[in-house]
Amino acid sequence: MAQKTIAGQTIEVNDEGYMVDASQWNREIAAELAKEDGIELTEKHYEVLEFLRKSNEKGETLTIRRVGKSGIVDIKGLYGLFPGGPLKFSSRFAGIPKPASCV
């Protein structure tokens, strides 16, 4: 567990950089986290992040396929928004735990 100051706020993050407390999240933090990975967030990105946060709140298991069926973006589009690891990156920017859909 470590603390990190970002967008003028102090947040708790785990060893892999995922926020520990989803309630500390806001859009500015997301923008800064994404910038660290060279991604500039657009409204489309935020729609995905909001979807992930809502699903996480409901305790749903998150998969790329599920996001692809959300109506916000298809799977190809999701890879376009978050290249290299769409769910890994987007969940980190969304301030939720790293999805481990298969245990």
Partner 1 sequence: MKKILILGGGTAGTMMGNKLYKALDHQEWEITIVDQHKTHYYQPGFLFIPFGIYNKSDVIKPKGDFFPSGVKVIYQEIDRVEGDHNKVLLMDGSTLNYDYLIIATGTQTRPDETPGLQGEQWYKSIFDFYTIEGAVALQQFFKTWEGGKLVLCIAELPFKCPVAPIEFVCLAEAYFTEKGIRDKVDITFVTPLAGAFTKPIATKMLSQLLEEKNINVVPDFYLESVDNEKKVLKSYDEQEIPFDVLTIVPVNMGSEMIERSGLGDDMNYVETDKETLQSKKFENIFVLGDAGNLPTSKAGSVAHFASEILFENMMNAFENRPLTAKFDGHANCYIETGYGKGALIDFNYDTEPLPGTFPLPGIGPFGLLRNTKINHYGKMIFRWIYWHILLRGKEMPIEAHMTMAGKKNSID
Which residues lie near partner 1 (CB under 8 A)?
Answer: 59-61, 63-66, 69, 75-76, 78-79, 83-85, 88, 100-103
Q: Minimum distance between the CB of residue 101 and partner 1, rounded to whole angstroms?
A: 4
Selection from 53, 51, 29 nearest residue 41 by Cα: 29
Instruction: Compute the Cα dihedral for 60, 1, 47, 90 and give only its sign.
Output: negative
CB of 28 to partner 1, least distance (A): 28
Q: Which is nearer to partner 1, 6 or 79 (CB)?
A: 79
Residue 34 tokens, joined? 């994404």
| Shortest Cβ 65–partner 1 spacing (Å) | 6
* CA distance linking residue 7 with residue 29, whole number of Å: 6
Q: Label residue 57 exposed, middle or buried (CB < 10 Å: 0-12, 13-18, 19+).
A: exposed
* Residue with Cβ nearer partner 1 (26 or 63): 63
Enumerate the active-site residues: 102
Q: 17 vs 85, which CB is nearer to partner 1?
A: 85
